[in-house]
């Protein structure tokens, strides 16, 4: 393995000080002739000089790294989000350090501290489900309190944190899903939602609002709490089959996967036996047949907004009031909803795409 080239090696060859070489290679102001600049850069290129980022950080007080905490990197939604955040950071000259909390509030807090100790310039945090629970509610805020770098909460927004936040309007998403099923003639609409999280409770609130607008009082017997994992959704779906529901609102694509596995094992089909609307629109075309009508949280839009907020803080050292950037989801109509009660299927595709609900 070849020895690493240092600033001193370049300075010795061009006959200038290491300080002068450092200033030129870091594009900092200095009184050096254009010819000397050219020679320094040519020697650095020929010797394949690689800057020492640790040493550079001591001078600039920037590590050119951003941290990310996600609950489950195996989730298609979170892996897609991580990929887009990584690309956006790289385009801005930063490296993204991705960590996985396994959906634990204690791990959220530990990973935030780990990233802070690594000297990252900022942290994206997608909170775990139990960050809203009694045991986990204090762990993450305590870790975030007094951080010397900016942080942005993304997608999941635990209550009580005054900070930059970027997320989709979950209440609007639940409303769009339920209203579409109502427009198809369904009245007994079950839902599988992660009611342990703020996102799930907000989606449930939208579902209930759509029902009440049609004069239907929500039936607690049709609400099935379910974590965002395929095996749990598979187990919970068995109880749902004992109801008189004709349609189902699944609170995520993972939940929909578990649901469909249970339905298909019983010889049931979508939309013949049950109409289904999912959430995320992240895997429907790849994994499901027929393609699932779904509430889309556009990952590109979410990542772009989060990156914009983060790098205004990082690059401009911008202070001021925390920013809440709430994005609107949309309904993507596919093939998993059947009209009943004399309604025509083709009527369902005429509205509700990109509908704002406030």
Q: Do domains 65-168+299-327 and 170-297+330-350 have the same CATH topology?
A: yes
Residue 284 has pLDDT above 70, yes or no: no
Three-state DSSP class for 52?
Answer: coil
Which residues are within 8 A (CB) of 40 and not within 5 positions of it... i.e. 6 or more apart? 10, 14, 16, 20, 21, 24, 25, 32
Task: Specify the CATH superfamily of domain 65-168+299-327.
Answer: Response regulator (3.40.50.2300)
pLDDT of res. 159: 76
Residue 183 has pLDDT above 60, yes or no: yes
Q: Are 269 and 140 in contact (CB under 8 A)?
A: no
CATH 3.40.1280.10 fits 170-297+330-350, yes or no: no
pLDDT at 65 over 50: yes
pLDDT digits (tens, 9 = 90+) for 68-109: 999 988 888 899 999 999 999 999 889 999 999 998 888 999
- DSSP letter for 267, please: T
170-183 helix and 198-213 helix, angle to the nearest 10 degrees:
40
pLDDT tens digits for 229-241? 889 999 999 999 9
Q: What pLDDT was estimated at residue 137?
A: 61
- Residue 145 is predicted with a pLDDT of 85
Q: Of 223, 195, 203, which Cα lies nearest the Cα of 294?
A: 203
Phi first, then psi, for residue 121 (nearest 5°) are -85, -15
Phi and psi at 156, nearest 5°, equal: -105, 125
Query: Which of 8-12, 130-134, 161-165, 303-307 tops mean pLDDT?
Result: 303-307
pLDDT higher than 80, residue 345: no
Question: Which of 221 and 30 is assigned the larger pLDDT?
Answer: 221
pLDDT digits (tens, 9 = 90+) for 128-144: 886 665 555 678 888 88
- Please give the pLDDT value at position 290: 80
Among residues 218, 289, 207, the alpha carbon closest in space to that of 249 is found at: 207
- Is the pLDDT score of 285 beyond 60? no
pLDDT beyond 50 at 21 = yes
Reported as type and span, the H/E element at residue 174 is helix 170-183
- The Cα 205–Cα 191 span in angstroms is 12
- φ, ψ for residue 349, nearest 5 deg: -90, 5
CA dist., res. 259 & res. 264, Å (int): 9
CA distance linking residue 17 with residue 177, whole number of Å: 67
Percentage of the residues of the chain whose pLDDT score is greater than 70: 84
Report how far residue 121's alpha carbon sits from residue 108's, in angstroms, rounded to the nearest whole number.
18
* Dist CA 126 CA 140 (whole Å): 11
What does the angle CA 113 – CA 103 – CA 225 come to, to the nearest 5 degrees?
Answer: 150
From 282, 70, 264, 294, select the one nearest 173 (Cα to Cα): 294
Distance CA 115, CA 98 (A): 10
Q: Indicate the domain borders of the chain.
A: 7-51, 65-168+299-327, 170-297+330-350
Coil, helix or strand at residue 278:
strand
Helix axes 18-25, 34-46, angle to 10 degrees: 80
Rounded to whole angstroms, how far apart are CA atoms 24 and 176? 57
Report pLDDT for 289.
75
pLDDT of residue 347: 41
């Amino acid at each position: 393995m070849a020895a690493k080239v240092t600033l001193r090696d370049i300075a010795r060859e061009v006959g200038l000080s290491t300080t002068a070489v450092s200033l030129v290679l870091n594009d900092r102001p200095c009184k050096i002739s254009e010819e000397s600049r050219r020679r320094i850069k040519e020697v650095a290129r020929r010797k394949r000089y690689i800057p020492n980022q640790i040493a550079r950080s001591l001078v600039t007080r920037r590590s050119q790294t951003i941290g990310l905490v996600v609950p489950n990197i195996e989730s298609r939604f979170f892996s897609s989000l991580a990929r887009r955040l990584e690309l956006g950071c790289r385009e801005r000259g930063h490296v993204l350090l991705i960590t996985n909390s396994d959906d634990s509030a204690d791990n959220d807090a530990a990973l935030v501290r780990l990233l802070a100790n690594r000297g990252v310039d900022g942290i994206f945090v997608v909170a775990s489900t139990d960050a809203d629970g009694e045991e986990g509610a204090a762990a993450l805020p305590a870790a975030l309190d007094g951080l010397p770098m900016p942080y942005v909460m993304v997608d999941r927004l635990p209550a009580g944190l005054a900070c930059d936040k970027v997320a989709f309007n979950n209440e609007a998403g639940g409303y769009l899903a339920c209203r579409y099923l109502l427009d198809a003639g369904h009245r007994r609409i079950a839902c599988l939602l992660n009611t342990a999280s703020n996102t799930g409770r907000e989606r449930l609130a939208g579902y209930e609002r759509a029902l009440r607008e049609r004069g239907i009082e929500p039936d607690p017997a049709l609400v099935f709490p379910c974590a965002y994992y395929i095996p749990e959704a598979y187990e919970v779906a068995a109880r749902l089959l004992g109801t008189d529901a004709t349609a189902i609102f699944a609170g995520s694509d993972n939940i929909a996967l578990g649901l469909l596995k249970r339905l298909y094992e019983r010889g049931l089909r979508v939309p013949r036996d049950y109409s289904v609307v999912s959430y995320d629109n992240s895997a429907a075309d790849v994994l499901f047949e027929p393609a699932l009508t779904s509430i889309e949280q556009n990952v590109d839009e979410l990542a772009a907004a989060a990156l914009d907020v983060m790098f205004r803080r990082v690059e401009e050292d911008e202070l001021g009031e925390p920013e809440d950037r709430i994005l609107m989801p949309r309904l993507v109509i596919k093939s998993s909803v059947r009209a009943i009660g004399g309604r025509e299927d083709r009527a369902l595709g005429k509205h509700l795409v990109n509908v704002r609900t406030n």
